[in-house]
């Protein structure tokens, strides 16, 4: 009997090592160093309470309007890189007090991700240490870039940031690991920045990336990206700050949802592969989708320690709470 138990633990330990090794390989880093120290601040509670719902993310005092890693969180403090989410799974909690309409909008944003990519927003289980807390208790729309470790807030001030689905998708896409389209290194071929119309002190928001600092994953410049600024972003006089250099039918700053290229880029970053779900062929799966080893390990734990079902129950309760809101 003793040998049997010992053997079981050996199998568990070996499998755990395999899973851990795979997870480390999955953790592709996202370089944040070119964004500089302004990325690290604390939320500004003095910020305007009357956000323009068309482009609320462009009105913040934060880097590029809405990029922020709060310095109050010591675990995340001043790290110049973040990471992709393991297996494309993004655990979340709803921290803010959103109206039922706002909750529906957030859920619809999740659905757009689930429909078009292999990313999965899942209610956080207690064992998951890295997760997104969706909040509205602070001012402005803002998010960290990528997975920074521990709890990371995506703040969606109500009602300004939860009026258009594209605004929610935009902020979540920062948490996924994406930056603004017009700051790409090759943007000068596609847009011109009219510095004379930019508000004094906000010029840094238009600083483009240097070669090699970021990647477009081989996907071309996209005027219609949900991550592109609007033509009058950070304007001091109502005149355009961004002019398209090429003829395009796309609207810079659209916030209706993903563009085709947004989806293409996400699926390349997370190595999404073929559609799998037989019930919904539009759902893609990650090549690093939850491993069979992980499921097998979970089954073994559950078989030996039946009480470990608690996490699952917590998850269901969390989902129920979400639906009751
Ligand atoms: Zn943004």
HEC assignment per residue over 25-37: HHCCEEECHHHCH
Question: Quick one: pLDDT at residue 282?
Answer: 45
* Among 102, 171, 288, 318, the one annotated catalytic: 171
Neighbours of 266 (CB within 10 A): 24
User: Which tokens go with 129?
Assistant: 């240490």
- pLDDT under 50 in the chain at which residues? 6-7, 9-25, 74, 274-325
In angstroms, what is the span from residue 229 Cα to ligand 1's centroid?
A: 8
In angstroms, what is the span from residue 273 Cα to ligand 1's centroid?
A: 27
Q: Is residue 108 within 8 Å of residue 165, measured between CB atoms?
A: yes
What are the tens digits of pLDDT across the range 104-136? 999 999 999 999 999 999 999 999 999 999 999
CA distance 56 to 159: 10
Question: Quick one: pLDDT at residue 190?
Answer: 97
Q: Would you say how long the chain is, in residues?
A: 325
In angstroms, what is the span from residue 67 Cα to ligand 1's centroid?
A: 6
Does 4 carry a binding-site annotation?
no
Residues in CB range of 67: below 8 A, 6 or more apart: 35, 39, 142, 143, 144, 145, 174, 179
In angstroms, what is the span from residue 226 Cα to ligand 1's centroid?
A: 9
Q: Is residue 252 within 8 Å of residue 242, measured between CB atoms?
A: yes
User: How would you classify residue 292: left for phi > 0, otherwise alpha for psi between -120 and 50, otherwise beta?
Assistant: alpha
> What residue has token string 């509205």?
136
Q: Quick check: is 181 catalytic?
A: no
User: Which tokens go with 177?
Assistant: 């690991």
User: Which tokens go with 155?
Assistant: 């703040």
In angstroms, what is the span from residue 58 Cα to ligand 1's centroid?
A: 7
Q: Is residue 29 within 8 Å of residue 136, measured between CB atoms?
A: no
Of 162, 36, 30, 178, residue with least CA distance to 108: 162
The strand pairing partners of 94, in sequence order, are: 134
CA distance 220 to 251: 16
């Amino acid at each position: 009997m003793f040998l049997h138990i010992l053997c079981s633990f050996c199998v568990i330990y070996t499998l755990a090592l395999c899973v851990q090794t795979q997870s480390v390989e999955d953790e592709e880093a996202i370089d944040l160093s070119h964004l500089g120290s302004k990325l690290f601040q604390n939320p500004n509670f003095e910020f305007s309470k009357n956000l323009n719902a068309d482009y609320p993310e462009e009105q913040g005092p934060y880097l590029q309007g809405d990029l922020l890693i709060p310095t109050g969180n010591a675990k995340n403090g001043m790290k110049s890189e973040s990471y992709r989410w393991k297996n494309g799974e993004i655990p979340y909690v709803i921290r803010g007090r959103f109206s039922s309409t706002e909750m529906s909008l957030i859920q619809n944003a999740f659905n757009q991700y689930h429909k078009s990519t292999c990313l999965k927003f899942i209610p956080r289980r207690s064992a998951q240490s890295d997760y997104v807390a969706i909040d509205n208790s602070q001012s402005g729309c803002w998010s960290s870039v990528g997975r920074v470790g521990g709890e990371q807030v995506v703040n969606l001030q109500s009602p300004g940031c939860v009026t258009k689905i594209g605004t929610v998708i935009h902020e979540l896409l920062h948490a996924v690991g994406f930056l603004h389209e017009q700051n790409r290194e090759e943007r000068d071929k596609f847009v011109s920045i009219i510095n004379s119309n930019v508000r004094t002190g906000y010029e840094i928001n238009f600083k483009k990336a240097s070669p090699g600092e970021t990647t477009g994953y081989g996907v071309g410049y996209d005027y219609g990206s949900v991550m592109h600024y609007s033509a009058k972003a950070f304007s001091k006089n109502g005149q355009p700050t961004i002019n398209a250099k090429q003829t395009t039918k796309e609207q810079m700053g659209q916030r209706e949802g993903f563009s085709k290229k947004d989806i293409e880029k996400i699926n390349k970053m997370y190595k999404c592969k073929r559609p799998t779900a037989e019930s919904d062929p539009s759902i893609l799966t990650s090549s690093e989708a939850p491993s069979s080893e992980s499921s097998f390990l979970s089954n073994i734990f559950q078989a030996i320690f039946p009480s470990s079902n608690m996490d699952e129950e917590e998850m269901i309760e969390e989902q129920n709470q979400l639906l009751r809101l």
